[in-house]
Structure 1
Amino acid sequence: MRTLISIVAIVVGLTPAPASAAPLPEGSADHTAGSQILKHEGSQFWKTETALSPPTENQVPGMDVSSHQGDVDWQSSWDKGARFAYVKATEGTSYRNPRFTQQYNGSYYIGMIRGAYHFALPDRSDGATQANFFVDNGGGWSPDGKTLPPAMDMEYNPYGETCYNMDQAAMTAWVKSFSDTVFARTRRHPTIYTSTSWWNRCVGDSVKFGDNNPLWVAHYAHKLGPLPMGFDFHTIWQWQAAGLFPGDQNLFNGEFAQLQRIASS
C-alpha cells in the first residue's frame, strides 16, 4: 500500500509525506538561534515586511548566522548597515560549525564586532562540559574591542519536551554551571540568548542572571514586549527571523560606542 501511494505521488508530482517527522540533526537549520522560538512562538511580521530596513535610532543593526547561511558575503552586509554579528560555533558536545572560520573571521576582517554562540542541549551533558566544548571550539574572548562576549543559546528542545524534561531548579543549575565555566575560562560572563516565554517557563526567577549576564532576547515583532524573569534590560534584540542581512536580524540596544565598550571589557 505504501509503495502504491508513493508511485501515485510521483505520478502527480507530489512528494510523499515521511512516515514520521523525525527531528533534524545537530547543525541543521532547525538548530540555530531562534529556529525553535520561531516554530513555537511565530512572528508578527508579514512576509512582505522581511526586507524592512532596521530602525537605527539609538540602536545598531546586526545579524547572526550559522552553517545554514554558508559562506557569507560580509561586504554586502556591511554595505547594508550591519555592524555586529554572532556566529554559531558549537552545539551539544560534538557539533562544530564547518563554516565557522569563514563567518567568524570574515565578519572581523570587514570591520564588524563579532562573537560566537553555542546551541545548548541541556539534557545531553552538564553545563560545564558543554561550556568547555564551546570555549575550546570558538567560544573564547579577547579584549580587542572587536569580540562580543560568548553567548549561550537557550531555547525550545528541537528533539522533544520543551524544557528537556528538566524542572526549573535543574535548568537554573545547568545555566549557572555553563555561565560560571565560561567566566572561569574567559573572564566574561556569557550573553544569554532566549525568549521570554521559554525562559519564564523553563528557568524562572530563582537566580537573577541579569546581574551579570547580558541578555540577547528573541521576539519577532515591531515592539519588544516583556523581558524574561531576572532581567531588567536587554543588550540585543533579535527582532526578525529573516530580513535585510543573511540569517536573523538583530538590534543592539545603544550607540556604536557602547557596543565597542562591551567588546572591550
Structure 2
Amino acid sequence: MPVHRSGKTLSGRSAVVTALLAALALLLTLPGAASAAQVPDRGTAWMGMGVVKHDGRGGKPAGGISTLATQTEGVDVSSHQGNVAWSTLWNSGVRWAYVKATEGTYYKNTYFAQQYNGSYNVGMIRGSYHFATPDTTSGATQADYFVNNGGGWSRDGKTLPGALDIEWNPYGATCYGKTQSGMVTWIRDFVNRYKYRTGRDPVIYTATSWWKQCTGNYGGFATTNPLWIARYASTVGELPAGWGYYTMWQYTSSGPTVGDHNHFNGDYSRVQALANG
C-alpha cells in the first residue's frame, strides 16, 4: 500500500506539472505576453531602431524626391558598429557622420572616441546624438548629460550641432508614458538647455508618425531646430508640422551592425554652413 500511495502521489505531481506547462503555453500566446522577454537592455538603442520596427528597413530612394538638387551622403553609428572603417566610408563618398554619445543619463557609447575622432580624422564633418528617454529624467538633465559626455559643439568648421533622437520607446510605452503636451514640454526643456550650454539649437531627429502620435504634431520647433527625418522609402513623404523642408533624411537602415545612411539636403557647402552655425 505505501508503494501504491507513492505512485499515486508521483502521478498526481506529473499531472499538475503537465497542467502548469499547458497553462504557461496558453499564456505565451496571449497578446503582449512575451513582451518582457523582448525588451532590449538599456543603452542598446540606436537611431532608427523604432523606425525599423514600425516602418521596415526600406531601400535606397529611386527618385521623385522633392529636395535640393544635390544631396550629400552621411552615416550615423553607435556602439553596435564597434570600430568603424572611416577611410572606407570616406572613399565611398560619405562626407558627414553622427555618432551616438549618450542615452538617458545612464549610458555612454564605449566606442565614442574611435567613432567621433576617427570620422574627423579622415576629413568628415561630424556631430553626436543623444537617444532620449523622457520617462527616466528631465529634458534639461539629459541635455546636460549629453553635453558633458561628447555632445558639445565648437566653431571649428567640422563639428555639427548635437542631435536629439526622439522616437519610439524600445523599452516600454511608445510615448514614454507622457501626454502630448508633456512630451512637447520635455523636448522644449532639452533643446533650451542644449542651446544654453552650447549656443546652438540642436537638430531634432524623429519620424512623422511618431511625432504626430506623441506630440500631437506640434509645429513650434520648426523655426529653430533643423529637422532630421526618418523614413525608409523612395520619397521622404509628409514632414512633421511646421517644417517646410528637411535638413537631413535617414532614408535606409542596414540594422545596428552596419549603420544607417542619410542624405543631407544640399551640397557639401550646406553641411559646412550647419557646422559653422
Normalising by structure 1, report the TM-score.
Answer: 0.86
RMSD: 2.2
Q: Deviations over 1:43-73 (max 9, x none)?
A: 333xxx69xxxx9951000000000000000
- Give the superposition deviation at 1:250: 0.4
Structure 1 segments unaligned to the other structure (5+ residues): 6-17
- Give the superposition deviation at 1:20: 4.9
Separation in structure 1 between the aligned mates of residue 73 and residue 224 of structure 2, nearest angstrom: 24
Q: Greater Rg, structure 1 or structure 2?
A: 2
Q: CA 1:109–1:258 in 2, change beyond 3 Å: closer, same or farther?
A: same
Separation in structure 2 between the aligned mates of residue 258 and residue 85 of structure 1, nearest angstrom: 14
Map 1:83-232 onto structure 2 (within 5 A): 83-232=95-244
Q: CA 1:152–1:83 in 2, change beyond 3 Å: closer, same or farther?
A: same
- Give the superposition deviation at 1:242: 1.9
Q: Deviations over 1:123-167 (max 9, x none)?
A: 101100000000000000001110111000000011111101111
Separation in structure 2 between the aligned mates of residue 206 and residue 90 of structure 1, nearest angstrom: 25
Aligned length: 241
Separation in structure 2 between the aligned mates of residue 124 and residue 73 of structure 1, nearest angstrom: 34
Q: Which residue among 240, 248, 256 is the counterpart of 2:252?
A: 240
Which residue in 1 is equivalent to 2:273?
261
Separation in structure 2 between the aligned mates of residue 140 and residue 43 of structure 1, nearest angstrom: 31
Normalising by structure 2, report the TM-score.
Answer: 0.82
Q: CA 1:115–1:22 in 2, change beyond 3 Å: closer, same or farther?
A: same
User: Secondary structure of the residue that 1:230 maps to in structure 2?
Assistant: coil
- Give the superposition deviation at 1:40: 1.4
Separation in structure 2 between the aligned mates of residue 19 and residue 110 of structure 1, nearest angstrom: 42
Which residue in 2 is equivalent to 1:9?
none
- Give the superposition deviation at 1:218: 0.3
User: Secondary structure of the residue that 2:151 maps to in structure 1?
Assistant: coil
Separation in structure 2 between the aligned mates of residue 69 and residue 104 of structure 1, nearest angstrom: 12
Q: Assess if the C-alpha contact under 8 Å between 1:27 and 1:67 holds in 2.
A: no
User: Secondary structure of the residue that 1:27 maps to in structure 2?
Assistant: coil
- Give the superposition deviation at 1:207: 4.6
Separation in structure 2 between the aligned mates of residue 178 and residue 153 of structure 1, nearest angstrom: 11
Runs of 4+ in structure 1 over 3 Å off = none
Which residue in 2 is equivalent to 1:32?
46
Q: Deviations over 1:6-52 (max 9, x none)?
A: xxxxxxxxxxxx89524111232xx100011110122333xxx69xx
1:93 alignment partner AA = T
Q: Assess if the C-alpha contact under 8 Å between 1:221 and 1:240 holds in 2.
A: yes
Separation in structure 1 between the aligned mates of residue 157 and residue 109 of structure 2, nearest angstrom: 24
Report which of the two has the higher share of helix: 2
Identical amino acids, percent of aligned pairs: 50
1:90 alignment partner AA = T
Worse overlay, 245-254 or 31-40: 245-254
- Give the superposition deviation at 1:232: 1.6
